[in-house]
Amino acid sequence: MNISKIVFLAIFLLVCSIMLTVISLTSKLNILPFQDVLSEYDLQQKALEESYQKELTGLLEYYTDASSSLNDIDDNLMSLTVPNKYQDLHFKLITALEDDNVDLTKEKLSEVVKDYTWLSSILSLFIINNF
């Protein structure tokens, strides 16, 4: 073999091993430059999720008070802007509250309490005070 081919092969193998080492280290240390960058959509969804949680808990706190009537809770729930993450929760709440059977409403709302821990305390109080 020619000496130039041996030197080329040695340099090629050295560069490949350095590249593999750098790639594996950056993935293990989570220092890739694009990992921490969230898209504009992700940031909007995150802000929307936080806003929804605050608004929904505030709304349920208002209706937990014994002096408030549940007549317009559907309209207030429908006026909330719902992020993608909580569309299922929102649908469950609205369908549970539209049901005329009190026992079925309690059962549906109790299922929601199990699924969403951040909502469990205020929703439990809501159920106790209204049904």
Note the pLDDT tens digit of each residue in 12-34: 889 989 988 888 877 777 665 55
Looking at the structure of the chain, the number of domains it has is 2
Range of the domain at 123: 40-130
103 and 53: one domain?
yes
20 and 75: one domain?
no
pTM for this one?
0.65
102 and 79: one domain?
yes
How large is the angle between the packed helices 102-115 and 120-130, nearest 10 degrees? 170
The pLDDT, as a whole number, for residue 54 is: 93
* Type of residue numbered 119: L
Note the pLDDT tens digit of each residue in 107-117: 888 888 888 88
| Whether 92 contacts 112, CB under 8 Å | yes
44 and 25: one domain?
no
21 and 56: one domain?
no
Confidence of residue 66 (pLDDT cuts 50, 70, 90): low
